[in-house]
């Protein structure tokens, strides 16, 4: 419960890991992909293969980085740069994949949508079309 209070207090901060999507013309939802990336256990009820895939790509990135260090010592000094760049690109892609997978799962299943909402990873953002919101709620 305290985790949810801390997360709701931090909603006003924007990060690169936020994924916004529309469910209707006047509703925009925001998903915190960074939170799901840090807490892979939250993805297991959505699909066990999602968490395994993310973990496996992260493991490959770590192994790539570990393999680049000896190559810099035994081959040439710049041999660490291409694996480092590839590992960074894989990590960034992996973080974006978490957001894409969670959004697609939320769109396809109401139960998944409610699960992400109750964990605090998903919340209602501002209406997409403010003019339609004013028509529905005249002042």
In tens, the pLDDT along 1-46 reads 444 444 444 444 556 678 887 777 778 888 888 888 898 888 888 8
End-to-end CA distance of the chain: 35
Q: E-strand spans in the chain?
A: 18-24, 27-32, 122-124
Write down the pLDDT at residue 14.
55
Sheet holding 18-24: strands in order across? 18-24, 27-32, 122-124
**Structure tokens of 35?**
């939170």
Write down the pLDDT at residue 132.
54
Cβ neighbours around 105 below 10 Å, total: 19
């Amino acid at each position: 419960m305290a985790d949810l209070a801390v997360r709701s207090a931090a909603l006003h901060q924007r990060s690169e890991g936020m994924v916004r999507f529309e469910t209707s013309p006047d509703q925009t939802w925001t998903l915190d992909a960074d939170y799901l990336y840090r807490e892979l256990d939250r993805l297991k009820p959505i699909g066990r293969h999602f968490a395994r895939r993310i973990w496996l790509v992260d493991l490959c990135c770590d192994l790539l980085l570990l393999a680049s260090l000896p190559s810099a010592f035994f081959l040439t000094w710049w041999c660490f740069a291409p694996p480092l760049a590839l590992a960074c690109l894989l990590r960034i892609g992996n973080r974006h994949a978490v957001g894409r997978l969670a959004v697609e799962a939320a769109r396809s299943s109401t139960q998944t949508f409610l699960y992400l909402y109750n964990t605090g990873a998903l919340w209602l953002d501002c209406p997409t079309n403010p003019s339609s919101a004013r028509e529905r709620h005249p002042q």
